[in-house]
Amino acid sequence: MSAAVEELQPQPTIVPSAQPPGAEAAFVIPPVVKSRPQTLLAIPVGACIALAIHFFVPKKEVVPPTHYYPLVLSVMLGLGVLGAALYPFFPGLRKWMRQMCPILGIATVTVGIWELITSCLEWLPLPYFPGPEAVLGSLVSDRALIFDSTWHSLVLLISGYAVGVAVALVTGITIGWFPHARYWGMSLLKVVGPIPATAWIPLAMVVSPSALISAIGLIALAVWFPVTMLTASGISNTRASYLDVARTLGAGRAYLIFRVAIPGALPSIFIGLFMGLGTSFLTLVVAETVGVKSGLGWYVSWAQGWAEYGKVYGALVIMAAFFSTIMTVLFKVRDRVLVWQKGVIKW
Amino acid sequence: MVAIAPDPVASKAASLRVRHVSKHFPAANGVGVAALALDDVSLSLAVGELVSVVGPSGCGKSTLLRLIAGLLTPSSGELSIGAEPITSPSAERGLVFQDPNLFPWLTVRRNIEAGLVARGVLREKRAEVDEFMRLVGLKEFADAYPHHLSGGMAQRVALARALINHPQVLLLDEPLGALDAFTRMHMQDEVLRLWQTHRTTMLLVTHDIDEAIYMSDRIVIMTQRPGKIDQTIPVDLNRPRDRSSSDFLRLRSNILELLHFAGAALAGNKS
């Protein structure tokens, strides 16, 4: 059973990217499992390089001195050293560091390079490309509004996603199970489904009583299509032998649908949920930019209107953290619901 | 070890009658001549009898089982259990396939419970789940998911899942076909033990002549396309049977000859 138990250990799925700015870090090759001293020292070394750039390379950009950026780097350095010191004593920490150190180390260096080519060398034109210090400074100074925007985005996203998924599960199961529903539903789905939800914005604005409701509707529509499609295909691809077995065990239609077809379709349904989440992010940002006057999407375009690019990048960083956290939550839900798939397929 | 009360179970077993059943399948491309899978098959099983059906692949053995299970309807003829005609699938006719077809999203325990849940009687019969898990020796795997089980273990779960409904007839469609030789012999004893404990009427479809002789009261030999019953051979050997006794081996060579003869006759007909 030990092999079975080991298989039940959660595997790393995606990396929650609560990283400092420097999205390039996402392209780093997955770290090698073996732990070497380089791995442990990646974060401290990275932080030292970035600090050296910050303090010793003369700057051309005039930034109001905030000290947030060197402070963050110093904290990274301190935590990196602390982690390396505690490394031998905590197996959990060991596993996490093996996974994360190279990525975080490279990310820190990338931020340093960013400062080098923006604030120090001014290779990129201002005000479009501020350095990390300016971005961090505007994040801190505008934190109340950014927090508020994030909250509004979260509420809008969850409402739209929930409505979309609820409707999609009903339509998907109906289309997947009943041949008549399949005939009519699939035709509709094939024609209407591929239209991007954002293309409905003009109509949504006319039809709905408020911008918020139209945004919820658009996000729901964006989620509805992939979830319906994959639910229907999952249901209609239920293995016939499972249905046969269930029938000979005395199953009625309700059992066949809810206890055979739906559990069997769940892997497919989750693919739909992930795709739907992606499209819902897109629709959320567009809807906030165009109609709803709140949320991170609105914040970005508002900051851009004032040419405050520090705020734009700050909001993008928050957005990245926000969206990937939600993605991680969905992965966790999937890991729980589809625990029976562990060892059957590679996630 | 709590013995399973034999009487209420024994009283549930029923006879099975198949009368002049034929089955056509529409041609694969939707046009042309319908394929005849079964041609005028008649067969009856007494209460508590274990009968094997052997024959070359494509002789309609599985079609016959699916007809009896109620998953298919016959093109002509009739099937009945006791006095009742078979019209649709029911928990009274358990079916075990070569692939155990365990629901991968349910643990071993929940798989075994499936029939009780489907019939809405889990609450009253929950105690039986433990009994059946003990009976097939899978108590410690109650919370394992099917993909952690070996082929033999999975098939035992499938047997328990079918038997928990106390079916009047248990239909076995090459249930041991995918197992290795040792596991297979072990499982043959297991199935016999379950059969003797439950006194269920059993119809076993198999490729394996040794298995048919070792297990059954009678062997029905079928010929290929269209599927017909060629011959029925009683197996008058005392149980438990010895696979290497001279009577066993004689019967075996007789059947092999018959099957070979059946094959040659078919080839002769075709040319």
What is the pLDDT at residue B177? 82
Residue A202 confidence class, pLDDT cut points 50, 70, 90: confident
Arithmetic mean of pLDDT, A258-286: 94
Residue of A296, A294, A337 whose CA lies nearest to A319: A296
Q: Which residue has the higher pLDDT, A274 or A83?
A: A274
**How far is the alpha carbon of B67 from chain A, nearest alpha carbon, in Å?**
12
Contact A344 B104 (CB under 8 A): yes
Q: Is the pLDDT of residue A32 over 60?
A: no
- pLDDT for res B227: 80
**pLDDT for the residue numbered A64:** 67
Instruction: Report the C-alpha gap between B120 and B165 in whole angstroms.
Output: 11
Q: Do B105 and A255 touch (CB under 8 A)?
A: no
Which residues 117-156 of chain A have a CB within 8 Å of chain B? none
Q: Where are the domains of chain B?
A: 14-99+168-270
What percent of chain A shows pLDDT beyond 70?
Answer: 86
Interface test with A, best of B86, B145, B159, B170 (most A CBs within 10 A): B145
What pLDDT was estimated at residue A298?
93
Look at the block and give the residue holding tokens 């138990």.
A5
Is A244 in contact with A187 (CB distance < 8 Å)? no
Instruction: Give B 143-182 residues with CB within 8 A of chain A.
Output: 144-145, 147-148, 161-162, 165, 171
pLDDT exceeds cutoff 70 at A150: yes
Give the separation between CA B171 and CA B204, rounded to whole angstroms: 6
Examine the pLDDT at B29 and tell me if it is beyond 90. Answer: no
Q: How confident is the model at residue A327 (pLDDT cuts 50, 70, 90)?
A: very high
The rounded percent of chain A whose pLDDT value lies above 90 is 45
Contact B157, B100 (CB under 8 A): yes
b/e burial code for range B153-164 (CB count within 10 A of at least 16 → b) = bbbbbbbbbbbb
Q: What is the pLDDT of residue A153?
A: 94
Once rounded to an integer, what is the mean pLDDT over residues A268-281? Answer: 95
**Mean of all residue pLDDT scores within chain A:** 84
- Asked if the model's pLDDT at residue B191 lies above 50, the reply is yes
Amino acid at A104: L
* Contact at CB, A250 and B119, closer than 8 angstroms: yes
Domains of chain A, residue spans:
7-137, 144-341
Q: Which residue has the higher pLDDT, A280 or A207?
A: A280
CB–CB contact B97 A344 (8 Å): no
- Nearest CB to A245; choose among B95, B119, B145: B95
Residues of A in contact with B115 (CB under 8 A): 249-250
Q: Coil, strand or helix: which one is A184? A: helix
Q: Would you say B263 and B74 are in contact if contact means Cβ atoms under 8 Å apart?
A: no
Instruction: Compute the average pLDDT of residues B12-27.
Output: 82
Residue A346's pLDDT band (cuts 50, 70, 90)? low
Mean pLDDT of chain B: 82
What does DSSP say about strands B93-96 and B16-25: parallel, antiparallel, or unpaired? unpaired
Helix (H, G, I), strand (E, B) or coil at A342: strand
Distance CA A138, CA A302 (A): 14
In this model, does residue B125 exceed pLDDT 50?
yes
Chain B nearest C-alpha distance from A210 (Å): 43
DSSP result, chain B: -PPPPHHHHHHH---EEEEEEEEEE--TTSSSPPEEEEEEEEEEE-TT-EEEEE--TTSSHHHHHHHHHTSS--SEEEEEETTEEP-S--TTEEEE-SS----TTS-HHHHHHHHHHHHT-HHHHHHHHHHHHHHTT-GGGTT--GGGS-HHHHHHHHHHHHHTT--SEEEEESTTTTS-HHHHHHHHHHHHHHHHHH--EEEEEES-HHHHHHH-SEEEEEETTTBEEEEEEE---PSSPPTTSHHHHHHHHHHHHHHHHHHHHHHHHH-
pLDDT grade for A24, boundaries at 50, 70 and 90: very low
Q: Is the pLDDT of residue B84 over 60?
A: yes
Predicted confidence (pLDDT) at residue A9 exceeds the cutoff of 70: no
- pLDDT tops 70 at residue B51: yes
- Give A87's DSSP letter: T
Mean pLDDT of A16-40: 50
When pLDDT is cut at 50, 70 and 90, the band that residue A247 belongs to is: very high
Nearest to B103 among A242, A339, A344 (CB): A242
- Tell me which amino acid residue A92 is: G
CB contact under 8 A, A250 and B94: no
The pLDDT tens digits of the residues spanning B87-106 come to 889 888 999 988 999 999 99
Residues 71-90 of B with CB under 8 A from A: 71, 89-90
CA dihedral A43, A47, A48, A49 (to 10 degrees): 100
pLDDT in tens, B143-154: 999 988 888 889
CATH topology of domain B14-99+168-270: Rossmann fold (3.40.50)
Say whether A178 sits in a helix, a strand or coil: coil
| Cα–Cα distance measured from residue B75 to residue B53, given in angstroms and rounded to the nearest whole number | 21
Q: CA nearest A255 in B: which residue?
A: B118
pLDDT of residue A35: 57
Long-range CB pairs of B189-197, under 8 A, 24+ apart, other chains included: B189/B240, B190/B136, B190/B156, B190/B159, B191/B159, B191/B215, B192/B239, B192/B240, B194/B135, B194/B136, B194/B159, B194/B163, B195/B50, B195/B170, B197/B4, B197/B6, B197/B9, B197/B135
- pLDDT tens-place string over residues B136-177: 888 888 899 998 888 888 988 998 899 888 888 999 998 888
Q: Of B29 and A337, which is predicted with more confidence?
A: A337
Positive or negative torsion for Cα A253, A258, A264, A267:
positive
Length of chain A in terms of residues written:
347
Spell out which residues of chain B touch residue A344, defining contact as CB-CB under 8 Å.
Answer: 104, 147
In chain B, what percentage of residues exceed pLDDT 70?
89
A248, A255, A340 member nearest B145 (Cβ): A340
Residue A63 pLDDT grade (very low, low, confident, very high; cuts 50, 70, 90): low
A340 touching B (Cβ < 8 Å): yes
Mean pLDDT, range A136-140, rounded to an integer: 87
C-alpha span between A31 and A268 (Å, rounded): 30
The closest CB to that of B165, out of A4, A242, A250, belongs to A250
Q: Which of B72, B90, B103 to mutate to test the interface with A (most CBs of A within 10 A)?
A: B103
CA atoms within 13 A on the CB side of A126: 16
User: Burial letters for A99-115: b for 16+ Cβ neighbours within 10 Å, e otherwise?
Assistant: bbbbbbbbbbbbbbebb
- Residue A26: what pLDDT? 42
Look at B114 and A249 and tell me if their CB atoms are within 8 Å. Answer: yes
The answer to whether the beta carbons of residues B165 and B91 sit under 8 Å apart is yes
Q: What gap in Å lies between CA B58 and CA B140, rounded to an integer?
A: 39
Could you give the C-alpha distances from B190 to B142, B156, B159, B185, in angstroms and in order?
Answer: 19, 8, 10, 9
Q: How much is the pLDDT for B271?
A: 36
In contact, B145 and B109? CB cutoff 8 Å:
no
- Who has greater pLDDT, B197 or B267? B197
Q: Which residues of A touch B118 (CB under 8 A)?
A: 246, 249-252, 255, 259
Residue of B nearest to A250 (CA): B91
CATH (residue range A144-341): 1.10.3720.10
The distance of A125 to chain B (nearest Cα, Å) reads 56
- Specify whether the CB–CB gap between B60 and B226 falls below 8 A: yes
* Comparison of pLDDT for A21 and B55, the residue scoring more: B55
**A174 or B231: whose pLDDT is higher?**
A174
Report the chain A residue with the minimal C-alpha distance to residue B103: A242
Residue B80, beta-bridge partner list: B17, B85
Residue type, B144: A
Are A248 and B161 in contact (CB < 8 Å)? no
Q: Which residues contact B2 (CB under 8 A, 6 or more apart)?
A: B131, B134
Which range, of A22-31, A205-214, A227-236, averages the lowest pLDDT? A22-31
Nearest CA in chain B to A265: B105
Q: Tell me if A263 and B103 make a contact (CB, 8 A cut-off).
A: yes
Residue B179's identity, in one-letter code, is L
CB contact under 8 A, B114 and A263: no
Taking the C-alpha atoms of residue A281 and residue A223, their distance in angstroms, rounded to an integer, is 10
DSSP-based three-state secondary structure for A195: coil
Q: B interface mutation test: which of A1, A247, A248, A257 has the most B CBs within 10 A?
A: A248
**Would you call B105 and A263 a contact, using CB atoms and an 8 Å cutoff?**
yes
pLDDT score of B268 more than 50: no
CB atoms within 10 A of CB A213: 14
* Residue with the larger pLDDT of the pair B224 and B122: B122
Residues of A in contact with B99 (CB under 8 A): 241
According to the model, what pLDDT value does residue B132 have?
84
**Nearest CA distance, B89 vs chain A (angstrom):** 5
As given in the structure block, the two tokens for residue A81 are 């050293």
Give the DSSP per-residue string, B188-230.
HHHHHHHHHHH--EEEEEES-HHHHHHH-SEEEEEETTTBEEE
Instruction: Report the DSSP pairing between strands B84-85 and B76-81.
Output: antiparallel
Which residues on A lie below 8 Å from B91 (Cβ)? 248-250
- Closest chain A residue to B163, measured at CA: A249
Which of the pair, A10 or B45, is modelled with greater confidence? B45
Given this model, what pLDDT does residue B32 score? 63
Give the position of tokens 């990937």.
A324
Do A231 and A176 contact (CB within 8 A), yes or no? yes
A334 to chain B, closest Cα gap in Å: 13
Name the pLDDT band for A7 (thresholds 50, 70, 90).
very low
The predicted model gives B61-85 an average pLDDT of 88
Other Cβ atoms less than 10 A from the Cβ of A120: the count is 18
